[in-house]
Amino acid sequence: MVLNKIVFFLALTWLLSACALMGVHINIHNPAHPGKMPKFNAEEIQLGEMTPYRSCFDVTYYDLAVKISPNEKLLEGTVKIFAIAETDFDTLQIDLHQNFEILALKNGEDGENLKFFRKYRGVFVIHPRKKGEKFTLEVLYKGKPPVAKKPPWKGGFVWKKDKDHNDWVGVACESEGASIWWPLKDHNSDEPDSMRLHYTVPESLMAIGNGQFEGKETKNGQTTFNWYISYPINTYNVTVYVGKFKHLEDHYTGINGKDLQMDHYVLEPNYEKAKNHFQQLHPLLASYEKYFGEYPWYRDGFKLVESPYEGMEHQTAIAYGNKYKNSASDGSDYIIVHEAAHEWWGNSITASDFADVWLQEGFATYAEGLFFEDQKDYNAYENHLGLYRLFIKNKYPVVGVKDRRWFHFRKSADVYVKGAWILHTLRVQLDNDPLFFEILKSFYEKFKYTTVNSADFISVVNEKTGKEYDWFFSQYLNSNEVPEMEFFISNEGVLFYKWTHSNPDFNKLNVEIRVNGEIHKITPQTKIQKFIFTKNINGGWTFGVKKNILIGIKENKKLLN
């Protein structure tokens, strides 16, 4: 998901750009008071917890058919859920928003109507199964989905008209969950192996979905568009776009010589503009393949779809709503750069719980910097991340509350910006780019097409470095504070320094200092340490701390006592 525009509101662009170009990184401050955790309502708890009603089965395939009626803002649909029992059970839980009426819920094998009851979004189905048994549910439903208040951040359905007054419809539901518009097991940890989509809309419009286009049929003034997703997919990424689109075809040749079919769908008046604007995808995808590994979805292709909201990383069908604008500072389209990175980080590798969503948003934000480094130089990378440093708030730990459907970017952007700076700090500490990039590629290769948590990434770091980095991640992921290096220089030229706001085990981080023009590395501890200066040719000292890692700096005269 894209960062809120407010974060980038460019009333300060000239100031931020100037700071970045001078290599100035504003000091990071810890808050006087941490942020308050929200009180979760019963629905958020129900959606977030992996109870026995959900862990008892695994979904392997969905077949979703939805008729979309823009005039009425109405959905009428059928979904077939193919699953396997993980344990013996009597009752299982699927999910569907309370706006929808369930017209029928059947055993997919024999059509028998099944008993069920509803609580919040939970639909509890009486359907006894034995471990290892395969089964199918068929759900017929109808209703009006919640309308998005501020998509994609406050999601739901978006019902708009384009400039020519054609219906223009989309959905964004990462935070809210796919059950706001179709019935499913709505938990990030369970991805189907594949899926089919059948979207029926008025025949004057097109309906675009994820994956491969499998044809269309028109009948009685309605056209059904059929799509096939041949890979695993996290369910909030399943999407639909409805509008008066024009198909823009392109091809990309990957790093391994593979041909990637690119099928963009844009509003008809924007076709020529999009044709030129979307060419920036070629170097972008090449950079991401270079750093992370092969694009994950070659069979299913890649497409940008013009959307009635800013952007969202829907797998192989990215929502594009940035009005074909490139940034004046770097010449690229932020939505394209960020959302395309999610094809690796968020879509192929997905956090099994939004508590670890930094693995998606932090990695994708960091990927932006790598793209600028690849296309320009390391200074461009540092400048890009330097701007993000300004927005780190440290109000909440980067890892959020588990077992709740809570994407806590709503409280701060730290899962994006601090997440990116955690990766940058790790790179600086390793001081070994081949090793750092091997870690990223190995993590991706090992866990692609699966769901993960922070411990999975830490295990790869420990394995590849041959060292234990739990001290590093415990500080940066589980504490809302960043370590702060307090220092003071005596009249005799002795630097006194130590860590505050750090975990007891946080005693291995190297900090670069410049003394009389020379670079030195020090490793602060929680106890006061000393560094003795030598006088320069003028009989004095010059001193600076390089703010190229995720720490705060504070002068403290009391260290002399």
Q: Where in the sequence is the domain holding 537, given as residue range(s)?
A: 484-560
The whole-angstrom separation of Cα 278 and Cα 295 is: 17
Share of the chain above pLDDT 70, in %: 95
Q: pLDDT tens digits, residue range 398-444?
A: 999 999 998 876 668 999 999 999 999 999 999 999 999 999 999 99
* Residue 253, in any domain of the structure: no
Letter string b/e over residues 216-239, b meaning 16 or more CB atoms within 10 A of that residue's CB: beeeeeebbbbbbbebbbbbbbbb
* Residue 424, in any domain of the structure: no
CATH number of the domain that 504 lies in? Answer: 2.60.40
Checking if the pLDDT of 12 tops 50, the result is no
Amino acid letter, residue 549 = I
Q: What does each C-alpha distance from 405 to 353, 449, 486 come to in angstroms?
A: 8, 21, 38
* Residue 511, in any domain of the structure: yes
* Residue 214, in any domain of the structure: yes
* Residue 5, in any domain of the structure: no
Residue for token pair 């505050």: 500
Cross-strand bridge partners of residue 345? 349
Residues 6+ apart with CB under 8 A from 139: 78, 79, 81, 94, 96, 102, 104, 105, 106, 123, 183
Query: What is the overall mean pLDDT for the chain?
Result: 93
CA–chain centroid gap for 4, Å, is 13
Considering only residues 390 and 16, tell me which one the structure prediction assigns the higher pLDDT.
390
The whole-angstrom separation of Cα 118 and Cα 122 is: 6
Mean pLDDT of 61-89: 98
The whole-angstrom separation of Cα 423 and Cα 429 is: 10
Of the candidates 210, 234, 258, which is a domain's last residue? 234
Cis peptide before 183 (omega within 30 of 0): no
Angle at 336 between CA 331 and CA 339, to 5 degrees: 140
- The helix (H) or strand (E) run that includes residue 143 is strand 134-143
Mean pLDDT of 15-27: 46
- Strands 529-532 and 494-500 come out as antiparallel
Q: What does each C-alpha distance from 194 to 63, 238, 412, 470 come to in angstroms?
A: 9, 11, 34, 36
Amino acid letter, residue 340 = A
Residue for token pair 């890009």: 384
Q: What does each C-alpha distance from 30 to 93, 384, 550 come to in angstroms?
A: 42, 22, 12
* Residue 489, in any domain of the structure: yes
Of the candidates 199, 214, 234, which is a domain's last residue? 234
Tell me if 434 sits within 8 A of 418, measured CB to CB.
no
pTM of the model: 0.94
- Give the total number of structural domains in the chain: 2
Q: pLDDT tens digits, residue range 128-142?
A: 999 999 999 999 999
Checking if the pLDDT of 11 tops 60, the result is no
pLDDT score recorded for residue 14:
33
Structure-block tokens of residue 306? 């013009």
Q: Give the closest residue to 389 by CA, choosing from 34, 29, 26, 7.
A: 26
Task: Tell me the backbone φ, ψ of residue 500, rounded to 5 degrees.
Answer: -130, 165
In sequence order, what DSSP letters do the residues of 222-290 get, joined into one string?
A: EEEEEEEE-S---GGG---EEESEEEEEEEEE-TTS-EEEEEEEEEGGGHHHHHHHGGGHHHHHHHHHH
CATH number of the domain that 103 lies in? Answer: 2.60.40.1730
pLDDT score recorded for residue 409:
61
Place 508 in a pLDDT band, splitting at 50, 70 and 90.
very high
Structure-block tokens of residue 150? 């501020």
pLDDT score recorded for residue 161:
97
The whole-angstrom separation of Cα 300 and Cα 282 is: 17
* Residue 456, in any domain of the structure: no
* Residue 453, in any domain of the structure: no
